[in-house]
A and B are shown apart, each in its own frame.
Chain A
Amino acid sequence: MTPALRCVGLRQKFGDTVAVDGLDLEVERGEVFGLLGPNGAGKTTTIRMITTLLPAPPGAIQVMGRDVARQRTAVRRLIGYVPQQLSADGTLTGRENVALFARLYDVPRAARAAQVAAVLDAMDLTEVADRPSKTYSGGMVRRLELAQALVSAPQLLILDEPTVGLDPVARDGVWDRIAAIRAATGMTVLVTTHAMQEADEHCERVALMHRGRIRAQGSPGELKDALGPDATLDDVFRHHTGNALTGDNENGGMRDVRAARRTARRVG
C-alpha cells in the first residue's frame, strides 16, 4: 500500500528566503504524525504545498498515491485541513459553518444534515451548534474547525498548530478529539506543532524540522532513547539542530503575531 503522504525533495523559496529546502517525508496510513519545529522552520509552507495552496512540481508530493501536481482535485477531496489561524466564520452559527463545508465537498444532500450533526456531536458542539461562532471560546472554535474538516470524511487530516494559543484544558480537549477521530475512522493525521512535550505525548512518529529540512525522524521513544536515558524531545531537538527552540526567524514570528491578532479581533 502506498503511504498516506510522500514528499520528495520539496523546495520553496520566497524571494531570498528558502522556506523549505529539500524536504523528504513519509507518513504511513493511519498514524498520527507530528511535524515539529520552531517558528519559521517551514512547517506551514510545507503544509501549504501539500494542500495545493502553493505549487509543487510533479512527482514531489503524493497523497494516497495521487500526485498533487497532476491530480489536484482528487487530492483536495482526500484532505481535511485546519489552518494555523482560527478561521471559522463568526457571523454564521456552528452548524452553518460545518454545513458550508459539507456543500463545498459535495456531500450528497440526503446525507448532509445527518453528517453535519454527527461531526458536531463528535466534537461536543451539539449544544452550541445554533449559536453564532463568534460567541465560542478559542477551544470551541478549534473543535468547530475540526468538525468542518471532518464533515467530508477525509483520508488525510492536516492540522497546522492546532493547540497554539489554547489553555491546557482546551489543548487536551483537542488532542483527545484527534485520538478519538483516529480510533473511530482510521484516518491519517498530520499535525504540526512547536510544543515538543505535546508531540511526545500524542504523536506516534515525529519529524524534527529546522530551517526547511528534516533533521531527525522516528517515534518519540526511539529518538529519545538514541540520545540517552533521561532525554526529552527538547533535548533531541537541540542535539540535532544545535539551536534553541524559540523562534530563530523574526519574520515568521511577526507575521504570526499579526495573524493571531487579526484572528482574535475577528472571532472575538
Chain B
Amino acid sequence: MSALPVAPPAASAETEPGPLALARTVASRVATTCLVELQKLRHDRTELVTRAVQPALWLLVFGQVFTRIRAIPTGSTPYLDFLAPGILAQSALFIAIFYGIQIIWERDAGVLAKLLVTPTPRIALVGAKAFAAGVRAVAQAVVVLVLALILGVHLETNPFKIILLVVALLLGSAFFCCLSITIAGLVLSRDRLMGIGQAITMPLFFASNALYPVELMPGWLQVINHINPLSYEVEALRGLLVGTSARLPLDFGVLFASAAVMIAIASALLPRLARG
C-alpha cells in the first residue's frame, strides 16, 4: 500500500483558471477523449461493421436502383456518385445524434457526475464529446468510402481535399452532437430524447441535399434546406469527394459557426442535465 500516490504539495490552481489555462485544459481533454474513443473502437470493432449496414443498404439498394431508373437528374454526375457523400453525411449524423442519447445514459449511470467532478470545465467536456463524435464519424467514413469505391464511385484522392473532408465531418458531427446534447439538456429523460432524436434525424436528412439536388425541392423545402447545416456539410463533402460545384468558404463558414454556437449552448445546458 505504500506505493499509493500521496497528495501533491498544495494543489497548483488555487484560483479559477484564466483563458490561457482554460484553452490548455480544453486541448488536453479533447486529446484524452479522442484517445478513449479510439480505445473503445479498438475493443469493439464490430460496431464499425454494424453501423456500416445502414449506409451500405442506402448505397446498394437506393443508390443502385435510382441510378438505373435515372429518376433523379444529377447532370453529368452519376447518381451513385452524387449519393455517396450524402450517405457519408447521414452516417455521421446518426452517430452524432447518438451521443446526446449516450450522455443521458451516462448521467443515469453516474459517469457524467464523475466526469463533472474532475477539474474539467463544462465547455471542455462538451468540446471533447463533440470531437469524439467526429472521430467516430471519420472512422465510419473510411468504411463507407471503401464501400463506395467498391461500388465504382469515382472519388478524389487529393490529400488536401481529404484533410478538408475530415474537417467538414468533424465540424458537422460537432454541431449535431451538441444539438443532441442540447435537446437532452432540455428534455432530461432518455425515453423522450429517443423519440425526439428519431423525430428530428430523418427530417434533417430528408430536408437536405443528401438524396436529391436542391433544384428539385419544392420552395418550402428549399427554405429549410438553406438553414439546415447538414446541407452545407453535404455540399462540402460532395464538392471535395466527387468534384461537384460547392461554395466551400460558405460551407465551412456555416459549419464552423454553427458548431461553435451549438457547443456553447450545450455547455450551458450541461449543469441542468447533471442536476435533473
**Chain A positions near chain B (C-beta within 8 angstroms):** 48, 51-55, 66, 71-74, 76-79, 81-87, 89, 91-93, 96, 100-101, 103-107, 111, 115, 118-119, 121-122, 132, 148, 150-155, 180-181, 183-187, 258-259, 262-263, 266
Contact = CB atoms under 8 A, between A and B. Distances in A.
A71 B15 contact: yes
A104 B118 contact: yes
A153 B105 CA distance: 28
Interface in B1-60: 1-8, 11-17, 28-29, 32, 35-36, 39-40, 43-44
Interface stretch (B71-79, B107-115, B195-203, B239-247): B107-115
B117 interface: yes
B43 A132 contact: yes
A87 B119 contact: no
Contact of A85 (B7, B28, B109): B109
Contacts of A111: 5
Q: What are the 7 tightest A-B residue pairs by CB atom distance, in nearest-first order?
A: A83-B110, A87-B110, A85-B110, A184-B1, A153-B5, A104-B118, A118-B3
A266 B109 CA distance: 8
A87 B29 contact: no
A123 to B, nearest CB: 10
Nearest to A105: B118
A74 B14 contact: yes
B119 A73 contact: yes
B11 A77 contact: yes
A91 B1 contact: no
A78 B118 contact: no
A259 B113 CA distance: 13
B4 A184 contact: yes
Contact of B5 (A55, A91, A151, A263): A151
A79 B39 CA distance: 27
14 contacts: A51-B113, A71-B14, A74-B15, A79-B117, A86-B109, A87-B110, A104-B32, A118-B4, A148-B114, A184-B2, A185-B7, A258-B108, A259-B109, A262-B109
A77 B120 CA distance: 10
Interface in B87-136: 105, 108-111, 113-121
B110 A76 contact: no
Given A73-B13, A103-B28, A132-B43, A81 B114 contact: yes
A154 B114 contact: no
A101 B118 contact: yes
B186 interface: no
Given A74-B11, A96-B39, A119 B5 contact: yes
B167 interface: no
A174 to B, nearest CB: 15
B275 interface: yes
B11 A91 contact: no
A118 B2 CA distance: 9
B117 A153 contact: no
